[in-house]
Amino acid sequence: MLDIIAIGGQYQTVDPDQGLANLRAAATAACRERFRRIDRFTQMALIGSAQCIDGADVKHDAGLYIGSRFASLGNITKVHEQMICSGVVPKPANFINTLSNSAGYFVARNLGLRHRNLFVSRGDASVVAALQLAAMDIGTGAVSQALVGAVDEAVLPLEHHRFRLGLETGTEVGEGSHWFLVAPEGRADSLASITDMATLVDERALDQWLNQLDPATEYRVSLSPWTQQRMTSSCLQNWPMLKGFDPALAAYPGHAAGALIRYLQSGENSPLIVIAADTDGRFHTVVTWPKAAF
Protein backbone atom coordinates (compact mmCIF):
# COMPACT_ATOMS: atom_id res chain seq x y z
CA MET A 1 0.00 0.00 0.00
CA LEU A 2 2.70 2.48 1.05
CA ASP A 3 6.47 2.62 1.13
CA ILE A 4 8.19 4.39 4.02
CA ILE A 5 11.14 6.32 2.62
CA ALA A 6 12.17 8.42 5.65
CA ILE A 7 11.49 8.50 9.38
CA GLY A 8 12.32 10.88 12.20
CA GLY A 9 11.13 12.61 15.28
CA GLN A 10 11.65 13.09 18.98
CA TYR A 11 10.53 11.39 22.18
CA GLN A 12 10.99 12.01 25.86
CA THR A 13 9.78 10.37 29.03
CA VAL A 14 8.34 12.95 31.42
CA ASP A 15 10.26 13.18 34.68
CA PRO A 16 7.72 14.24 37.34
CA ASP A 17 10.51 15.93 39.29
CA GLN A 18 12.11 17.81 36.37
CA GLY A 19 8.90 18.76 34.55
CA LEU A 20 8.48 19.10 30.80
CA ALA A 21 11.51 19.44 28.54
CA ASN A 22 12.19 22.93 27.18
CA LEU A 23 11.98 22.67 23.38
CA ARG A 24 12.68 26.26 22.41
CA ALA A 25 16.29 25.74 21.26
CA ALA A 26 15.48 22.59 19.28
CA ALA A 27 12.50 24.26 17.62
CA THR A 28 14.59 27.29 16.66
CA ALA A 29 17.20 25.01 15.09
CA ALA A 30 14.51 23.16 13.12
CA CYS A 31 12.90 26.29 11.65
CA ARG A 32 13.96 27.96 8.42
CA GLU A 33 12.42 31.21 9.63
CA ARG A 34 11.56 32.65 13.02
CA PHE A 35 8.04 31.82 14.15
CA ARG A 36 6.58 33.91 16.96
CA ARG A 37 3.95 32.92 19.51
CA ILE A 38 3.89 29.23 18.68
CA ASP A 39 2.91 26.81 21.44
CA ARG A 40 4.73 23.71 22.65
CA PHE A 41 2.65 21.33 20.52
CA THR A 42 3.67 23.25 17.40
CA GLN A 43 7.29 23.21 18.52
CA MET A 44 7.12 19.42 18.76
CA ALA A 45 5.57 19.17 15.28
CA LEU A 46 8.25 21.43 13.78
CA ILE A 47 11.10 19.51 15.40
CA GLY A 48 9.88 16.04 14.43
CA SER A 49 8.93 16.89 10.85
CA ALA A 50 12.25 18.64 10.19
CA GLN A 51 14.20 15.64 11.49
CA CYS A 52 12.17 13.30 9.26
CA ILE A 53 12.79 15.12 6.00
CA ASP A 54 16.43 15.99 6.71
CA GLY A 55 18.25 14.83 3.59
CA ALA A 56 15.11 13.39 1.96
CA ASP A 57 13.76 14.41 -1.43
CA VAL A 58 10.40 15.91 -0.48
CA LYS A 59 8.12 17.08 -3.28
CA HIS A 60 6.39 20.43 -2.85
CA ASP A 61 3.07 18.78 -3.71
CA ALA A 62 3.42 16.25 -0.89
CA GLY A 63 0.39 16.04 1.37
CA LEU A 64 0.68 16.75 5.10
CA TYR A 65 -1.27 14.63 7.59
CA ILE A 66 -1.05 15.07 11.36
CA GLY A 67 -2.67 12.76 13.90
CA SER A 68 -3.07 13.50 17.61
CA ARG A 69 -5.43 12.52 20.37
CA PHE A 70 -5.79 16.01 21.86
CA ALA A 71 -3.71 18.31 19.62
CA SER A 72 -2.44 21.41 21.48
CA LEU A 73 -3.55 20.20 24.88
CA GLY A 74 -1.28 22.46 26.93
CA ASN A 75 -2.48 25.59 25.16
CA ILE A 76 -6.13 24.48 25.25
CA THR A 77 -5.90 23.87 28.99
CA LYS A 78 -4.32 27.29 29.53
CA VAL A 79 -7.04 29.05 27.52
CA HIS A 80 -9.82 27.27 29.41
CA GLU A 81 -8.25 28.11 32.76
CA GLN A 82 -7.99 31.78 31.76
CA MET A 83 -11.60 31.94 30.60
CA ILE A 84 -13.32 29.78 33.22
CA CYS A 85 -11.20 30.18 36.34
CA SER A 86 -10.02 33.76 35.91
CA GLY A 87 -12.60 35.27 33.55
CA VAL A 88 -9.81 36.53 31.30
CA VAL A 89 -10.19 36.74 27.52
CA PRO A 90 -7.32 34.71 25.97
CA LYS A 91 -4.75 36.34 23.73
CA PRO A 92 -5.50 35.99 19.99
CA ALA A 93 -2.40 33.82 19.41
CA ASN A 94 -3.38 31.46 22.20
CA PHE A 95 -6.91 31.16 20.85
CA ILE A 96 -5.72 30.52 17.29
CA ASN A 97 -3.36 27.81 18.50
CA THR A 98 -6.29 25.88 19.97
CA LEU A 99 -7.31 25.03 16.40
CA SER A 100 -6.19 21.50 15.61
CA ASN A 101 -4.63 22.35 12.25
CA SER A 102 -2.64 25.36 13.45
CA ALA A 103 0.51 23.26 13.80
CA GLY A 104 -0.01 21.94 10.28
CA TYR A 105 0.17 25.48 8.91
CA PHE A 106 3.55 26.10 10.53
CA VAL A 107 4.96 22.72 9.45
CA ALA A 108 3.85 23.28 5.85
CA ARG A 109 5.28 26.80 5.82
CA ASN A 110 8.55 25.65 7.35
CA LEU A 111 9.01 22.83 4.84
CA GLY A 112 7.65 24.64 1.80
CA LEU A 113 4.68 22.29 1.33
CA ARG A 114 1.78 23.69 -0.67
CA HIS A 115 -0.73 20.88 -0.97
CA ARG A 116 -3.21 19.07 1.28
CA ASN A 117 -2.92 19.74 4.99
CA LEU A 118 -5.15 17.60 7.20
CA PHE A 119 -5.51 16.87 10.90
CA VAL A 120 -7.20 13.78 12.35
CA SER A 121 -7.84 12.44 15.85
CA ARG A 122 -8.60 8.83 16.75
CA GLY A 123 -7.41 8.05 20.27
CA ASP A 124 -4.20 5.99 20.35
CA ALA A 125 -4.83 5.14 16.68
CA SER A 126 -4.49 8.68 15.32
CA VAL A 127 -1.36 7.75 13.35
CA VAL A 128 -3.31 4.92 11.68
CA ALA A 129 -6.04 7.36 10.66
CA ALA A 130 -3.44 9.75 9.25
CA LEU A 131 -1.75 6.94 7.30
CA GLN A 132 -5.12 5.78 5.94
CA LEU A 133 -5.87 9.29 4.66
CA ALA A 134 -2.42 9.48 3.10
CA ALA A 135 -2.87 6.08 1.45
CA MET A 136 -6.19 7.11 -0.08
CA ASP A 137 -4.78 10.34 -1.50
CA ILE A 138 -1.67 8.63 -2.85
CA GLY A 139 -3.79 5.83 -4.30
CA THR A 140 -5.99 8.28 -6.22
CA GLY A 141 -3.03 10.34 -7.39
CA ALA A 142 -4.10 13.39 -5.40
CA VAL A 143 -0.58 13.63 -3.94
CA SER A 144 2.71 12.05 -4.97
CA GLN A 145 4.06 11.73 -1.43
CA ALA A 146 2.77 12.22 2.09
CA LEU A 147 4.40 13.48 5.25
CA VAL A 148 2.57 11.80 8.12
CA GLY A 149 3.08 12.74 11.75
CA ALA A 150 1.76 11.72 15.15
CA VAL A 151 2.25 14.44 17.77
CA ASP A 152 1.15 14.13 21.40
CA GLU A 153 2.36 16.32 24.24
CA ALA A 154 2.15 15.75 27.97
CA VAL A 155 0.61 18.33 30.29
CA LEU A 156 1.33 18.88 33.97
CA PRO A 157 0.27 17.90 36.57
CA LEU A 158 0.76 14.29 35.56
CA GLU A 159 -1.97 12.93 37.81
CA HIS A 160 -4.48 15.03 35.87
CA HIS A 161 -2.92 13.97 32.57
CA ARG A 162 -3.13 10.26 33.47
CA PHE A 163 -6.79 10.67 34.36
CA ARG A 164 -7.40 12.46 31.05
CA LEU A 165 -5.72 9.62 29.15
CA GLY A 166 -7.47 6.89 31.12
CA LEU A 167 -4.20 5.55 32.51
CA GLU A 168 -3.70 3.82 35.82
CA THR A 169 -2.25 5.82 38.72
CA GLY A 170 1.53 5.94 38.65
CA THR A 171 1.87 4.96 34.98
CA GLU A 172 5.03 6.37 33.42
CA VAL A 173 4.10 9.08 30.91
CA GLY A 174 5.87 10.11 27.72
CA GLU A 175 5.38 12.46 24.78
CA GLY A 176 6.58 12.43 21.21
CA SER A 177 6.52 13.76 17.67
CA HIS A 178 6.95 10.89 15.19
CA TRP A 179 7.03 11.34 11.41
CA PHE A 180 7.04 9.24 8.24
CA LEU A 181 7.61 10.26 4.64
CA VAL A 182 5.62 7.79 2.56
CA ALA A 183 5.21 7.23 -1.18
CA PRO A 184 3.52 4.74 -3.54
CA GLU A 185 4.74 1.16 -3.11
CA GLY A 186 7.59 -0.08 -5.25
CA ARG A 187 10.34 2.36 -4.25
CA ALA A 188 13.82 0.83 -4.45
CA ASP A 189 15.10 3.12 -1.70
CA SER A 190 12.33 2.46 0.83
CA LEU A 191 13.00 1.56 4.45
CA ALA A 192 9.87 -0.55 4.78
CA SER A 193 6.47 -1.21 3.25
CA ILE A 194 3.09 -0.89 4.93
CA THR A 195 1.09 -3.74 3.42
CA ASP A 196 -2.11 -3.67 5.43
CA MET A 197 -4.15 -1.29 7.59
CA ALA A 198 -7.44 -2.33 9.14
CA THR A 199 -10.14 -0.81 11.34
CA LEU A 200 -11.85 -3.48 13.45
CA VAL A 201 -15.07 -2.86 15.36
CA ASP A 202 -14.20 -4.90 18.47
CA GLU A 203 -11.95 -7.62 19.87
CA ARG A 204 -13.89 -10.36 18.11
CA ALA A 205 -13.20 -8.67 14.78
CA LEU A 206 -9.55 -8.32 15.80
CA ASP A 207 -9.41 -12.06 16.49
CA GLN A 208 -10.90 -12.77 13.06
CA TRP A 209 -8.37 -10.46 11.44
CA LEU A 210 -5.51 -12.26 13.20
CA ASN A 211 -6.90 -15.56 11.91
CA GLN A 212 -6.16 -14.56 8.30
CA LEU A 213 -2.45 -14.02 8.97
CA ASP A 214 0.08 -16.51 7.60
CA PRO A 215 0.75 -18.97 10.46
CA ALA A 216 4.15 -19.81 8.95
CA THR A 217 5.38 -16.20 9.32
CA GLU A 218 6.70 -14.89 12.62
CA TYR A 219 5.26 -11.47 13.39
CA ARG A 220 6.31 -9.01 16.07
CA VAL A 221 3.45 -7.21 17.83
CA SER A 222 3.33 -3.89 19.71
CA LEU A 223 0.47 -2.48 21.77
CA SER A 224 0.42 0.76 23.74
CA PRO A 225 -0.21 0.53 27.51
CA TRP A 226 -3.62 2.19 27.02
CA THR A 227 -4.52 -0.29 24.26
CA GLN A 228 -3.55 -3.18 26.54
CA GLN A 229 -5.91 -1.78 29.19
CA ARG A 230 -8.76 -1.75 26.63
CA MET A 231 -8.36 -5.44 25.76
CA THR A 232 -10.47 -7.78 27.87
CA SER A 233 -9.61 -11.07 26.13
CA SER A 234 -6.37 -12.95 25.58
CA CYS A 235 -6.83 -13.39 21.82
CA LEU A 236 -3.20 -12.53 21.09
CA GLN A 237 -2.09 -15.61 23.04
CA ASN A 238 -4.01 -17.85 20.63
CA TRP A 239 -1.51 -17.24 17.85
CA PRO A 240 1.97 -18.75 18.42
CA MET A 241 3.49 -16.84 15.47
CA LEU A 242 2.94 -13.54 17.31
CA LYS A 243 5.92 -12.40 19.37
CA GLY A 244 5.86 -9.24 21.45
CA PHE A 245 8.00 -6.20 20.69
CA ASP A 246 8.77 -3.79 23.52
CA PRO A 247 9.80 -0.36 22.17
CA ALA A 248 10.76 0.84 25.68
CA LEU A 249 8.36 3.79 25.52
CA ALA A 250 6.22 5.23 28.29
CA ALA A 251 2.46 5.64 27.91
CA TYR A 252 1.19 8.36 25.56
CA PRO A 253 -1.26 8.44 22.63
CA GLY A 254 1.53 8.49 20.03
CA HIS A 255 2.94 5.18 21.27
CA ALA A 256 2.00 3.30 18.06
CA ALA A 257 3.99 5.70 15.87
CA GLY A 258 6.93 5.69 18.26
CA ALA A 259 6.95 1.87 18.35
CA LEU A 260 7.02 1.69 14.55
CA ILE A 261 9.98 4.04 14.32
CA ARG A 262 11.92 2.20 17.02
CA TYR A 263 11.25 -1.11 15.31
CA LEU A 264 12.59 0.15 11.99
CA GLN A 265 15.63 1.52 13.80
CA SER A 266 16.21 -1.83 15.55
CA GLY A 267 17.20 -3.64 12.35
CA GLU A 268 14.80 -6.53 12.93
CA ASN A 269 13.59 -8.33 9.82
CA SER A 270 10.22 -9.78 10.86
CA PRO A 271 7.04 -7.89 9.96
CA LEU A 272 5.64 -5.71 12.73
CA ILE A 273 1.97 -5.50 13.65
CA VAL A 274 1.00 -2.38 15.58
CA ILE A 275 -2.38 -2.58 17.31
CA ALA A 276 -3.93 0.64 18.63
CA ALA A 277 -7.29 1.29 20.24
CA ASP A 278 -9.48 4.34 19.77
CA THR A 279 -12.00 5.86 22.17
CA ASP A 280 -14.98 4.10 20.54
CA GLY A 281 -13.97 0.52 21.32
CA ARG A 282 -12.40 -0.18 17.94
CA PHE A 283 -8.95 -1.58 17.22
CA HIS A 284 -6.72 -0.46 14.37
CA THR A 285 -3.86 -2.45 12.91
CA VAL A 286 -0.87 -1.63 10.72
CA VAL A 287 1.37 -4.33 9.21
CA THR A 288 4.85 -3.10 8.26
CA TRP A 289 7.57 -5.14 6.58
CA PRO A 290 11.13 -3.83 6.93
CA LYS A 291 12.89 -3.83 3.57
CA ALA A 292 15.36 -6.46 4.69
CA ALA A 293 12.43 -8.83 5.24
CA PHE A 294 11.61 -9.06 1.52
pLDDT in tens, 260-276: 999 999 999 999 999 99
Query: In this predicted structure, what is the pLDDT of residue 91?
Result: 66
pLDDT in tens, 66-75: 999 998 877 6
Query: In this predicted structure, what is the pLDDT of residue 178?
Result: 98
Q: Is the pLDDT of residue 7 over 70?
A: yes
Going along the chain from its start, the domains and CATH numbers come out as 2-184 (3.40.47.10), 192-293 (no CATH)
The torsion angles phi and psi of 7, rounded to 5 degrees, stand at -135, 160
Query: In this predicted structure, what is the pLDDT of residue 294?
Result: 44
133 vs 37, residue with greater confidence: 133
Weakest-pLDDT range from 84-93, 162-171, 176-185: 84-93
256 vs 188, residue with greater confidence: 256
Query: In this predicted structure, what is the pLDDT of residue 15?
Result: 93
Query: In this predicted structure, what is the pLDDT of residue 98?
Result: 60
- pTM (2 d.p.): 0.92
pLDDT in tens, 176-187: 999 999 999 988
Query: In this predicted structure, what is the pLDDT of residue 120?
Result: 96
Q: Is the pLDDT of residue 93 over 70?
A: no
